[in-house]
Structure 1
Amino acid sequence: MSGKKVLIIGATGLVGHAALKHFSTQEDCNVISVSRRTPEQSYGAKHISVDLNNEKQCSEVFGSMNDITHIVYSALYEKPDDLISGWVDQEQIDTNSRMLRNVFEPLERSSKDLKHVTLMQGAKAYGVHVKSIQNPAREGKSEMYEQPNFYWLQEDYIKEKQKGKDWNWTIFRPAVIFGESIGSPMNLLTAFGVYAALLKEEGKPLHFPGGVETILVATDVDLLARAIAWAGESEKAEGEAFNITNGDVFVWSTLWPTLAETLGMEPGEHVPLSLTEEIPKREVEWRHICEKHNLVAPGIKDFVGLSVEFADRYFAYGQREMRYPPLYSDIKLRQAGFHECIDTEEMFIKWLKLFQEKRLLPQN
């Protein structure tokens, strides 16, 4: 068989969408996307709608695929109305573990040319959802396994399945991911975009709604997609877990004037506000903005999802004392051979302008 055939599970999420876009531009590469919802843009890939919780349906669909060479597994189940506390919920842990098994059991039996599997983890691999961690976070720290997490069930499963096989796996642990996705529970761009648009419509400057200043890191989803492609072909990525960040750090106070300028606003003051409490109340105003500016963005609930909760956490809303958020060492990834990086300020400009061009946020 010539070329690659890449199966992207969770194609409407942040990572899945970026992987779909990236692999679909590669020569001699066929792509199949899988999600319950149909992606807004296929990029020429074949799409299959599958409920990953349905074992019978998964068996029928994935059991008929006999030529998959690469799997990008980025599907994620979050509790529908409780993002933060759901991270330690046993139902969520069990569901995410089951979804991977439902995909992989029939797929491995049918696809004899399988070469590589990519799994996604993240900051919760280091227990940041339950405790402060020692910075910088590094791969391979044994104490992280003490925290309940579906990551470990998925990781242990894929390691056990790989024993004695020709295919291999790689795990990525990005920082907070930024990119193009609608309704994602952890895409701060949509929550921030709606918040900014509401202020602008009222003639107000871009106030900072968070708490105490913190040093942060981010991961551009296009950068992550390129790293996933690299891992699928690199011997140095086989059986390894990698942190991945943009390569720099940032603080909101320094970045805020750039965000305001990109949106055609003036930077404002520090005005703490819970986006979780405020944004859902503003549906009428948001619909007015959409009509006035001819936007194609959906209503607030469908557009921002649970990302308002995530935004409050990332902006440190309600925190008055300096905290120590996780910083990541990605030296392991660089030493293995993936050297790409992106300036985080440029990343924010890129995505905000794209949201404007696609009429998801008002133009300046």
Structure 2
Amino acid sequence: MSVLVVGAHGVAGSAAAEHLSSHGRAVTTLARRPVALDDGGAANDRRHLQADLLDTDSIPRGALSSITEIVYAGYAERSSFGETTDLNARMLSGLLQALERDGAAPERFVLMGGGKSYGEHLGPYRTPAKESDPRLLGPILYNPQEDLVQAGVRRFGWSYTVLRPDGIIGHSLGSPMNILTGVAAFAVLSREEGVPLRYPGSLAGWNALHQATDSRILARAVAWALDAETARDEIFNVTNGDHFRWRHLWADIAAFFEMPPADPQPLDLASHMAGLGGVWQRIGEREGLREKTLDDFVRWPFVQGWMDTGYDMVQSTIKIRLAGFGDAIDSHQSVLDHLFGLREAGYIPQ
């Protein structure tokens, strides 16, 4: 089987590509950026296509002809929900056009969705959210993508699975949706400035019940979805299997960085951290970090959005468990594992 992983530099796509290739699948990755071993991108033993899905001519003719499975984790962001939704639908349409052009006959398609399908970005929503919940009035990022993939059943003859993780914890750089690098950068900068670690989100966010999906859990769910008959033409929530509150997790993060925690101090992160790029560069040069540009390491608006969310974010994972996938991890341990990984890889100091 030959699997195409789209969005191979993002936190979801990079984990999926690594897991699938390490478990015997022939993996081709596709992304706008070139191969980059140090940011979770495609490794040298995988074929990589540097291409823009908005320009199908950028995908070499015939490059997709032998693809039998697809994992789609591509994502691009614009200033409004409407623009972002339209852009991502056009990207997926571009891939489908290229597949048709090359005469590809994929048998399986796994689409990476998320909690926006339940409107968690809009405000308090029905919890626990279930895959059977009715759609919301758009623009909702994943609705047009799901429609395109479902239409592909008739167009290409594939079966599909939609996976809906939430708050993916893992390693990727330059990704617009990565909470881990934001937490790490905030802690490192606070320590450098000699101040205690204070939660920078809203007080409501500090207390709310949240959830996350470890990228390793998600990668294993992708592999399961490609193989399991019970995953055919289904939608599944996939999370770590537990929930957490920042007020409890924060002490563990402070201990990891050997810092004293202190009372929360809500901040406008994008503006407040804008003046600390030079401090990050100084740390990077002194410690020999791989990424010395703060803006390339973290996307503050995403960090702000998650930490300010002051209502419960809870998805039911009963459906995927009953279908046969039951992998789980403690979310506190997940965050600490990946912070350790960032440290070992040289992205944050010892």
Determine the structure 2 residue equivalent to 1:30.
26
Separation (CA, whole Å) in 1 of partners of 2:148 and 2:248: 43
Select which of 92, 96, 113 maps to 1:100: 92
Separation (CA, whole Å) in 2 of partners of 1:207 and 1:356: 21
TM superposition shift of 1:135: 0.7
User: What does residue range 243-282 of structure 1 map to in structure 2 within 5 Å?
Assistant: 243-282=237-276
Does 2:143 correspond to 1:152? yes
TM superposition shift of 1:279: 1.4
Q: Which amino acid aligns with 2:225?
A: A
Q: Which secondary structure state, in structure 1, belongs to the residue aligned with residue 227 of structure 2?
A: coil
Separation (CA, whole Å) in 2 of partners of 1:237 and 1:11: 22
Matched positions, count? 342
Does 2:115 correspond to 1:123? yes
User: What does residue range 280-299 of structure 1 map to in structure 2 within 5 Å?
Assistant: 280-299=274-293
TM superposition shift of 1:164: 7.5
Determine the structure 1 residue equivalent to 2:70.
71
Separation (CA, whole Å) in 1 of partners of 2:102 and 2:327: 35
TM superposition shift of 1:112: 4.9
Per-residue CA deviations over 1:46-81 (Å, capped at 9, x if unaligned) read 1110011113334x44x44222111011111101xx
Determine the structure 2 residue equivalent to 1:345.
332
Q: Which secondary structure state, in structure 2, belongs to the residue aligned with residue 72 of structure 1?
A: strand
Q: Which amino acid aligns with 1:337?
A: G
- Flag the 1:108–1:236 CA change in 2: closer, same or farther, 3 A: farther
Contact kept, 8 Å, 2:285 with 2:292, in 1: the verdict is no
Determine the structure 2 residue equivalent to 1:186.
177
Does 2:52 correspond to 1:51? yes
Contact kept, 8 Å, 2:211 with 2:239, in 1: the verdict is yes
Contact kept, 8 Å, 1:69 with 1:111, in 2: the verdict is no
User: What does residue range 6-45 of structure 1 map to in structure 2 within 5 Å?
Assistant: 6-27=3-24, 29-41=25-37, 42-43=42-43, 44-45=45-46
- Flag the 1:68–1:111 CA change in 2: closer, same or farther, 3 A: farther
Separation (CA, whole Å) in 1 of partners of 2:20 and 2:231: 18
Gapped regions of structure 1 (runs ≥ 5): 318-322
Separation (CA, whole Å) in 2 of partners of 1:186 and 1:112: 31
Per-residue CA deviations over 1:208-257 (Å, capped at 9, x if unaligned) read 21222111100111110110110001111111111111000111111111
Separation (CA, whole Å) in 2 of partners of 1:250 and 1:273: 21
TM superposition shift of 1:109: 5.5
Contact kept, 8 Å, 1:12 with 1:38, in 2: the verdict is no
Q: Which amino acid aligns with 1:92?
A: T
Separation (CA, whole Å) in 1 of partners of 2:329 and 2:193: 34
Contact kept, 8 Å, 2:64 with 2:104, in 1: the verdict is no
Q: Which amino acid aligns with 1:315?
A: M
Per-residue CA deviations over 1:2-38 (Å, capped at 9, x if unaligned) read xx211011111111110111111012x2111111112
TM superposition shift of 1:276: 1.6
TM superposition shift of 1:129: 2.1
Per-residue CA deviations over 1:84-123 (Å, capped at 9, x if unaligned) read xx2x22x322221111111122314645552200111111
Q: Which amino acid aligns with 1:360?
A: Y
- Flag the 1:233–1:109 CA change in 2: closer, same or farther, 3 A: farther
Identity %, equivalent residues: 35
Separation (CA, whole Å) in 1 of partners of 2:314 and 2:97: 35
Separation (CA, whole Å) in 2 of partners of 1:342 and 1:39: 30
Q: Which secondary structure state, in structure 1, belongs to the residue aligned with residue 163 of structure 2?
A: strand
TM superposition shift of 1:191: 1.6
Q: Which secondary structure state, in structure 2, belongs to the residue aligned with residue 24 of structure 1?
A: helix
TM superposition shift of 1:178: 1.1
Select which of 214, 218, 229 maps to 2:223: 229
Per-residue CA deviations over 1:302-347 (Å, capped at 9, x if unaligned) read 111xx31121122228xxxxx4232100100000000100110110
Separation (CA, whole Å) in 1 of partners of 2:271 and 2:104: 50
Contact kept, 8 Å, 2:116 with 2:141, in 1: the verdict is no
Per-residue CA deviations over 1:254-310 (Å, capped at 9, x if unaligned) read 111111111222222222222222112111111111112111113011111xx3112
Contact kept, 8 Å, 1:34 with 1:49, in 2: the verdict is yes
TM-score of the two chains, using structure 1 as the length reference: 0.89
Runs of 4+ in structure 1 off by over 6 angstroms are none
Separation (CA, whole Å) in 2 of partners of 1:48 and 1:217: 33
Separation (CA, whole Å) in 1 of partners of 2:123 and 2:246: 23
